[in-house]
Structure 1
Amino acid sequence: MERSEQSRASGSSRDNEADVLRDFEESFFAMSRLVSFPWTFLEKELECNKSSHLISDILKQTCLHSLCRKFPPSVGYRKLFLSELIRRQEAAGCDPLDELYDALAEVISAEDSTECYKSYILPCGEAVSLLENVALISGGTTGLVTWDAALYLAEWALDHRQTFTGRTVLELGSGVGLTGITICRSCGPNRFVFSDYHPRVLQKLRDNVRLNGLTERTPRTVGVEELDWTSATEDQITQIGADTVIAADVVYDPDVVEGLVEVLSKILRCSSPEVFICSTIRNQETYTGFKQLLEKAGIVHHVITGAVSRVFPYDRLSAVEMIRLFR
């Protein structure tokens, strides 16, 4: 009986360790804040056996992983991460791990850049890797990084694949492409149209679409289009023929909200697609103004409630709201 209990406890420990390794991997490649990593588990493990085996495994799942060789997070981020691992190991009095110091030396000698890769692990184990700017605002736009609402919308899509499977999907303000690429890779749309307006964002978007192998599909299946909300014509919208329209984090500036409502009105006039807007509410006044403009345009909104599956690491304390629009 005692042996059976010990066996179960050992199995539970292995399961916990596997979960922790997965958490480290997902958080590292998404360049999550270091405080969000499961350091407590690591500290307890180091205190119990003074062995560096777990740190070695963490290293293999992060800086020494083949994904890091191909699509590395920023030099500065990797430097901070490795320094934190070393600090934790030394504080626990564990034997030095040569490969850990070698990895730090390699990063220190690397040249930093204004761009880096972030990778988001899908439920199937594959990764969506995106070239993003290190700065949140660059070149006069916020569209060169992934925001929380895009991650939330991607998770919602994974929970509601039937909304996209076999359909033509239009994404407004695609940014660097996280949500759309996730849908293309996991939800089986018949056609997906990424769109944006800022020239630098469009170039980065095209790069990321190619980076994730979507150019292997025919142009009729995946497309990237310039779409100016204020000048988009009904003919252009009708040509796309979307069954589903999505947008994430597009309600952030009062100056662009009017154009957004204008293009949404045209979309709903041209056909009857399902329209979903996901927003991080940073400024309540701006968000309320958006809803008032929708009402003025004769567009009804319905707030979608309910939890989504936790797939990607991001700040879940952010105020994120999903709405569906009707005329």
Structure 2
Amino acid sequence: MGKQEVNKHTWKMALSEQKEEKPEDILRDFRASFFSMNRLASFPWTFLDSELQSNKSSEFISELLKQTCLHPLCGKFPPSVRFRRIFLSELIKREAAGCDPLDELYDALAEVLGVEETLHCHKTYFLPTGDAISLLENVAVISEGTTGLVTWEAALYLAEWVLENPQVFTGRSVLELGSGVGLTGITVCRSCSPVRFVFSDCHAVVLEKLRENVRLNGLGGGKSPSVTVDQLDWTTAPEEQIRRIRPDTVIAADVVYDPEVAGSLADLLLKILKCSAAAEILICSTVRNPETYGGFKLRLEAAGLGHQVLTGPVGAVFPYNRLAPIELIKVFRVQEG
């Protein structure tokens, strides 16, 4: 069975299991999807429709509002204005077809209609412990000349793998390349007890937002683990900077999307392994363009580096598109001779 077929099978199984979930599970799913601004089509609407048809009561919608738009997190770290408007409009449409009008639902819509759109929003992801990771992101996928101001699927995939493999990070010095807004790295810091974690990126605006998200989630400031946010340009990074970090583990998510940077990344990984021979290097990629991704692997080979495809995460912690073709590889130096 190919990887795409496995993903489809997993997705179908998830849909099948969803039918057996209890109301509290569905409320939790709605909350997770709402705060991560997941695709509206992926919300468990079927359960809501069934609940409204069988009970003809607005009680479930009232509870649903408490877990989404009326949740304290929404006041502190709100999803985008547009997303909240669309979500509430969808709720109203379904409520109108299934039960009597709920005043607080219309009040919530009226409130958000009066809010001005901004270029920024918050996305919140819930860890298995119940703790929340809240990130300030840009609403637009591409803004200020970079794609690094939003959370991408490979970062969520890698974060789930991190939660299932804490031993790769516990007690270690970890370097993240192309940290973006910080989801994967913050997950490592919150869940795996590294000794040190270095977030890195090369784009000044990304670094500014990254530092803000690190502070937002209570990291740094002398607390354990030791956390720094460094500028790291793959084409010019001096060996002394790598030696200073001396990482035991290196991670990166969704950094192989441009043929021009593939060679720079391969050269940087070789430089890291020369400075820290025992480092474990994990690269997670959404394979949007097989030619670009294949070219990256060829550049690894040309740099004297091999790779091994790793098994992905088993559990579904974060909501994202699980049909996306995502691959996680471990990169290592090929022994000569």
TM-score (norm 1): 0.94
Give 1:3's aligned residue. Answer: none
Q: Call closer, same or farther: CA 1:281–1:20 in 2, change over 3 Å.
A: same
- Tell me whether 1:60 sits opposite 2:66 in the alignment: yes
1:178 to 171, 177, 183: 183
Q: Structure 1 residue 308: deviation in Å?
A: 2.7
Q: Secondary structure at the match of 1:88?
A: helix
Give 2:204's aligned residue. Answer: 199
Per-residue CA distance 1:189-238 (angstroms, 9 max, x = gap): 11000000000000010010001010343497000000000111111101
Using the aligned pairs only, state the percent identity. 65
Distance of 1:205 and 1:219 partners within structure 2: 18
How many residue pairs get aligned? The number is: 315
Distance of 2:119 and 2:259 partners within structure 1: 28
Distance of 2:329 and 2:39 partners within structure 1: 28
For 1:215, give the aligned amino acid. G
Give 1:128's aligned residue. Answer: 133
Give 2:15's aligned residue. Answer: none
Give 1:103's aligned residue. Answer: 108
Q: Call closer, same or farther: CA 1:219–1:197 in 2, change over 3 Å.
A: farther
Distance of 2:225 and 2:32 partners within structure 1: 33
For 2:88, give the aligned amino acid. L
Q: Structure 1 residue 274: deviation in Å?
A: 0.5
Distance of 2:286 and 2:57 partners within structure 1: 43
Gaps of 5+ in 1: 1-12
Give 2:227's aligned residue. Answer: 222
Distance of 1:249 and 1:307 partners within structure 2: 16
Distance of 2:284 and 2:20 partners within structure 1: 38
Q: Secondary structure at the match of 2:22?
A: helix
1:248 to 244, 249, 253: 253
For 1:33, give the aligned amino acid. R
Q: Structure 1 residue 55: deviation in Å?
A: 0.3
Shift >6 Å, 4+ stretches: none
For 1:168, give the aligned amino acid. S
- Tell me whether 1:233 sits opposite 2:238 in the alignment: yes
- Tell me whether 1:322 sits opposite 2:328 in the alignment: yes
Distance of 2:39 and 2:225 partners within structure 1: 39
Q: Structure 1 residue 91: deviation in Å?
A: 1.1
Q: Structure 1 residue 95: deviation in Å?
A: 1.3
Q: Secondary structure at the match of 1:224?
A: strand
1:285 to 284, 291, 300: 291
Give 2:4's aligned residue. Answer: none
Distance of 1:158 and 1:275 partners within structure 2: 17
* Counterparts of residues 85-164 of structure 1 (less than 5 Å): 85-92=91-98, 94-164=99-169
1:19 to 15, 25, 39: 25
For 2:44, give the aligned amino acid. P
TM-score (norm 2): 0.91
Distance of 2:233 and 2:282 partners within structure 1: 19
Per-residue CA distance 1:77-103 (angstroms, 9 max, x = gap): 0000001000000011x1111110000
Q: Structure 1 residue 15: deviation in Å?
A: 5.8
Q: Structure 1 residue 241: deviation in Å?
A: 1.2
Give 1:189's aligned residue. Answer: 194
Q: Call closer, same or farther: CA 1:262–1:154 in 2, change over 3 Å.
A: same
* Greater displacement, 240-249 / 302-311: 302-311
For 2:128, give the aligned amino acid. P
Q: Secondary structure at the match of 2:220?
A: helix
2:76 to 60, 70, 75: 70
Distance of 1:202 and 1:308 partners within structure 2: 31
Q: Secondary structure at the match of 1:225?
A: strand
Gaps of 5+ in 2: 1-18
- Tell me whether 1:300 sits opposite 2:303 in the alignment: no
Q: Call closer, same or farther: CA 1:278–1:229 in 2, change over 3 Å.
A: same
Q: Secondary structure at the match of 2:52?
A: helix
Q: Structure 1 residue 32: deviation in Å?
A: 0.5
Give 2:50's aligned residue. Answer: 44
For 2:138, give the aligned amino acid. N
Distance of 2:323 and 2:221 partners within structure 1: 38
Q: Secondary structure at the match of 1:261?
A: helix
Q: Structure 1 residue 14: deviation in Å?
A: 10
